[in-house]
Amino acid sequence: MITKTLTVTAKVGLHARPVALLSKLATELGGEGISVKIGRNADQLVAANSSLRMLTLKITSGEQVLVELGTEDAERAEGIFAQVAEALAAD
C-alpha cells in the first residue's frame, strides 16, 4: 500500500462531479487489481469506487484527505495520485 495526503481544491468540496471522476478512476484501476481508498484519516478510509460512501464523508474545500493505493509500484502510484488530485479539483 502507498498513501499520500492531498487537498480538496474543488470550490464546493467533495461533491458529485469529483466523486464521479474518482469512482470511475477507482473502478478502472480495480480492473488492474489496484484498490483506491479515500478518507480524512486511516481510520475513515472508504472505497473510492463507491460514490455514496465518498459523499457521506462530507469533505469540504480546503480539507486534506488521505488516499491509499493498493500497489507497491511507486512510479505508477505517482501517476494515479496526479489523477486523483485532478479529480479533487473538479468543480
Q: Where are the domains of the chain?
A: 2-88
pLDDT higher than 90, residue 21: yes
pLDDT higher than 90, residue 91: no
pTM: 0.94
Share the mean pLDDT of the chain: 96
Angle between helices 74-88 and 16-31 (to 10 degrees): 160
pLDDT higher than 90, residue 6: yes
Grid coordinates in use for 35? 484498490
The percentage of the chain sitting over the pLDDT mark of 70, rounded to a whole number, equals 100
Supply the CATH classification number for the domain 2-88: 3.30.1340.10
Q: What sections of 1-91 are H helices per DSSP?
A: 16-31, 51-55, 74-88
Residue 87's pLDDT band (cuts 50, 70, 90): very high
Give yes or no for a contact between 11 and 5, defined as CB atoms under 8 angstroms apart.
no
Closest CA to 16 of 59, 62, 51: 51
Residues 21, 43, 87: CA angle, nearest 5 degrees: 15
User: How confident is the model at residue 45, as a pLDDT?
Assistant: 97
